[in-house]
Amino acid sequence: MTAKALADAAAGSQPAEIPQEARDKARELGWEDGLIELALEKGHSLQVVWQALRGNVDGKQAKDFLAGGEAMVRDFAWMKVPTEWGIRARASDSEMGLTIGDLNVGTYGDIPDVWTNRSEIARGSFPNPVNEDMGYTIFDKAIIWADCVVPLYEVAIRDRWVSATDLRWASLEELPDDMERAVCQFLTEQSDRAYFTGALWSGWLPEISYGYHELKFFLSTVIYDLARHSEAFRKRALSNGGGLGLQAPTDFSRAAKEARSFPELAAILFVQDSMLLTLFKNGDLIAQNQLERDMYALVARDRQRMMDYHIERMKHFLFKMPDRRDEQNLYLSKAEGRMVKDWADPVVSEPLALMLGGGRDQMDPGQDKLRALRKLQVEGYVADLAKATFFRTHLNGRFQELLA
Amino acid sequence: MAANPITESGLDLSWLNLYDDPASAVPGKKGLTLKEINLGRYGDAARGAGDMTYRMRGAVARPGAQRFGPTYMSKSDVWSENCVMLYEEATQRQWSSARDIPWDTLQTLPDEIERAMCQLCTMLTEVEFIAGDVPGQWMPFVSSQDFEAGLFLMSQIMDEARHTDVFRKRALANGGGLLAQGAGLGLRTLLEARDFTEMSVLMHVQAEGFVQSMFRMGELIGQTDADKKIFRMSAQDESRHLAFGVMHLKYVLDTEPERREELHHYLDKAEGDAAGGGSGDVTFPPVFESLCILLGGGVDKFDEGLQKFLLLRKRQINEYVHRLTVAGLGDRRDRLGPLMAQFVDPI
């Protein structure tokens, strides 16, 4: 760096007081008292002085330079850190483009079983010798990981949709009052649940360390999906002569909120997410028009990704930590019990029965169809658990009755 | 066997009579957005008191609903007048780092330039990591009465994931790799915030503002069309985050002017920490040096790069002061930390 360059760079800067932090750093580096002032008098900006201090220019170098010596030579030590170099990641699937999976080459693709760095370091970069602890609490791959998050992250981005413009709002036609109220009550509950679950997952993000950034990316898409579901349901409830009804029951959601660990959280949400996936996959049964059919189909597509994660995570977790298999029964029992309580609420079941039956005067056949739908949901849930290599020995009695 | 209460019960149907004011939002020019449904008792103007449940604004309260822990009770704690519009804009402007960046325009660069770009990307990856965690940390405290602010934060979490991934992709796509971890980037300050407004002014206004000013110099920093597009697309997202923060700060100052000194206090601390670099500090030597190399065009043009770097700092600080002024905190100009004050243009 030449003196002229420094002087030029300083031009236009305002005179400023010298921060104590700069004085302390100068003392640490052996700068004589008054050397900072001398640099400023010679026209060097405070910023440039600060950069010299941050660059660990010692007192002798600084003094020599200010006495008219040669420009200081920078060693650019960061250019020489021993990370893997020469990486040219390429898209393995031209339709998907350059995915995060394509980056997992060489050491950059080494996803460790235990991540030990407590900072926000990017996996594969060169660590500082000393770092502040950023407060992460989850460092075990076995607890959180599923290989599918790597491709699912990019699929989620590819399959994004926009409630404002991808649903044909102008196509809505008036429904009978009881039917509109049923749709709106159902969507009030679902909007509430989606928003809550998005907020819940969000709160867990800062707990997860950055050895597993692909998982954090994937969870970000889940959170964003849930935001969209919440607002799409609200929009539908407020656009066709209805309104928001009674807020959702709180028993199941409280169980999820009460989770004290990631495996507990995931086990509890496994129950809800499996049940809701089946519900929305069968959205045609409750949809009253094309807009609702489209909306439920899009929601189901998003929810399939969430469920794929749940299944693979649990399978991986049980494989890696078989001693924790029985413990999962505790969380699943709690979640099933709370779900039964929510399902038994007439404000949850009756709107579904009304939609399935076709009106208020068709509640009996509607309840028959609801029983069939609930059976389908529980069958799907048991099948999802089986895919995760988990077999419930004591499925909730009410669920068991549905399967009988 | 007793009837299964899941599907068989005496009919109640009381939920059919909960309201008598039908809502019929009509799509506007941009479709059916949150703006169109922000009406009547469902609108933010009709916000009721929070109840620490997840009852969405306008829904009927359920007797016996359990609380979920503390959430902000006052609208001014989290609200921003533009969050309704910003959320919808976010949904319309999502992009894909995999397919929307012209990766095929990458070309072999001189080694020192590639290393400088990779060092910058390494640092930005870390910055964006934290920018995703921070709104996540606060989401559980945002009342459903102000759900649009929550939706916006959830869209920000998505944006930051994409930014993190795109900078990692860039570092690993052109014959380079990740380099030195950042240190003293001032990022922990963002996680240390203990109030939403404190967090927002530090992250949205200060940190993302500085990053935004840098991204807007992406035409000078980027060496290829792919690089330049990465900065352009990321800047577009950062503009939303920044706009949320500026308007949130304005809302707080308009509705709770007694908080002015408290907000100055947060900024006094943040501008003092990292000696004025702020969060996402570009004065960290490897970042400073890599920026000088990229802006100058090589190690041998470091001095030219340094001058452009100082222009970048000047731009960052003056835009920061301008944004604070727009938000109603124009007196910050007279209280800036010394390493920022040196760059402020005279009025």
Of A54, A79, A202, which is closest to B115 when you measure between CB atoms?
A79
State what percent of residues in chain A have pLDDT above 70: 96
pLDDT-based confidence at B342, cuts 50/70/90?
confident
* Phi and psi torsions of B121, nearest 5°: -65, -35
Which positions ≥6 away from B45 have C-beta within 8 Å? none
Q: How far is CA B19 from CA B46, B66, B105, in A?
A: 16, 23, 58
DSSP-assigned beta bridge partners for residue B28: B31
Number of residues that make up chain A = 404
In chain A, count of helices (H) and strands (E)? 18, 0
Interface probe with A: pick from B158, B192, B282, B287, most Cβ of A within 10 Å: B158
Return residues 78-137 of A near B (CB < 8 Å): 78-79, 81, 83-91, 96-100, 103, 105, 108, 119-122, 124-128, 131-132, 134-135
Asked, for residue B152, whether it belongs to a domain, the answer is: yes
Query: Which CATH number covers residue B299?
Result: 1.10.620.20
Closest CA to B303 of B321, B289, B317, B316: B289
Q: Total structural domains in chain B?
A: 1
CA distance B309 to chain A (A): 9
Of B25, B59, B157, which is closest to A188 when you measure between CB atoms?
B59
In the predicted model, what is the mean pLDDT of residues B16-40?
96
**Which domain covers residue B125, as residue numbers?**
75-341
Q: Report the C-alpha gap between A9 and B308 in whole angstroms.
A: 8
Does the beta carbon of B107 lie under 8 angstroms from any beta carbon of chain A? no
Give the amino acid at A133: D
Give the amino acid at B294: L
In chain B, count of helices (H) and strands (E)? 12, 0
pLDDT-based confidence at B186, cuts 50/70/90?
confident
Asked, for residue B293, whether it belongs to a domain, the answer is: yes
Summarised one tens digit per residue, pLDDT across range A96-105 is 999 999 999 9
CA distance A401 to chain B (A): 8
Instruction: Please list the alpha-helical segments (H only) found in A205-261.
Output: 213-237, 251-257
CB-CB under 8 Å, B177 with A124: yes
B252 C-beta neighbours (distance < 10 Å), count: 27
* Phi and psi torsions of B60, nearest 5°: -80, 135
Give the amino acid at B49: A
Does the beta carbon of A238 lie under 8 angstroms from any beta carbon of chain B? yes
Q: Report the C-alpha gap between B276 and A54 in whole angstroms.
A: 12
Q: Is B269 helix (H, G, I), strand (E, B) or coil?
A: helix
CA distance B332 to chain A (A): 16
CB-CB under 8 Å, B56 with A188: yes
CA dihedral B23, B27, B32, B33 (to 10 degrees): -90
Which positions ≥6 away from A94 have C-beta within 8 Å? none
Of B61, B65, B168, which is closest to A103 when you measure between CB atoms?
B168
Does the beta carbon of A257 lie under 8 angstroms from any beta carbon of chain B? yes
Summarised one tens digit per residue, pLDDT across range A324-347 is 999 999 999 999 999 999 999 999
CA distance B84 to chain A (A): 11
Is A193 in contact with A227 (CB distance < 8 Å)?
Answer: no
Q: Report the C-alpha gap between A1 and A52 in whole angstroms.
A: 11
Q: Report the C-alpha gap between A24 and A236 in whole angstroms.
A: 61
* Phi and psi torsions of A208, nearest 5°: -95, 125
What six digits make up the tokens of B290? 């890599």
Asked, for residue B79, whether it belongs to a domain, the answer is: yes
How much is the mean pLDDT over chain A?
94
What pLDDT does B316 receive?
A: 93
CATH code reported for the domain at A141-403? 1.10.620.20
CB-CB under 8 Å, A105 with B59: no
What pLDDT does B273 receive?
A: 59
Asked, for residue B282, whether it belongs to a domain, the answer is: yes
Asked, for residue B68, whether it belongs to a domain, the answer is: no
Does the beta carbon of B42 lie under 8 angstroms from any beta carbon of chain A? yes
What six digits make up the tokens of B209? 């503002």
Closest CA to A334 of A247, A254, A248: A254
Q: Report the C-alpha gap between B291 and B314 in whole angstroms.
A: 14
In the predicted model, what is the mean pLDDT of residues A375-382?
98
Answer yes or no: is pLDDT of B278 > 70. no
Asked, for residue B303, whether it belongs to a domain, the answer is: yes
Q: Report the C-alpha gap between A361 and A365 in whole angstroms.
A: 9
B48 C-beta neighbours (distance < 10 Å), count: 11
What pLDDT does A1 receive?
A: 47
Residue with tokens 């099933």: A336
State what percent of residues in chain B have pLDDT above 70: 95
Domain ranges (residues) in chain A: 3-74, 141-403
A73 C-beta neighbours (distance < 10 Å), count: 8
Answer yes or no: is pLDDT of A290 > 80. yes
Answer yes or no: is pLDDT of B136 > 70. yes
CB-CB under 8 Å, B6 with A340: yes
Answer yes or no: is pLDDT of B46 > 60. yes
Answer yes or no: is pLDDT of A6 > 50. no
Long-range contacts formed by B84-87: CB under 8 A, 24+ apart: B84/B33, B84/B34, B84/B35, B84/B38, B84/B44, B84/B148, B85/B33, B85/B35, B86/B152, B86/B155, B86/B240, B86/B243, B86/B244, B87/A227, B87/A231, B87/B34, B87/B148, B87/B151, B87/B152, B87/B155
Does the beta carbon of B173 lie under 8 angstroms from any beta carbon of chain A? yes
Asked, for residue B253, whether it belongs to a domain, the answer is: yes
pLDDT-based confidence at A88, cuts 50/70/90?
very high
Asked, for residue B181, whether it belongs to a domain, the answer is: yes
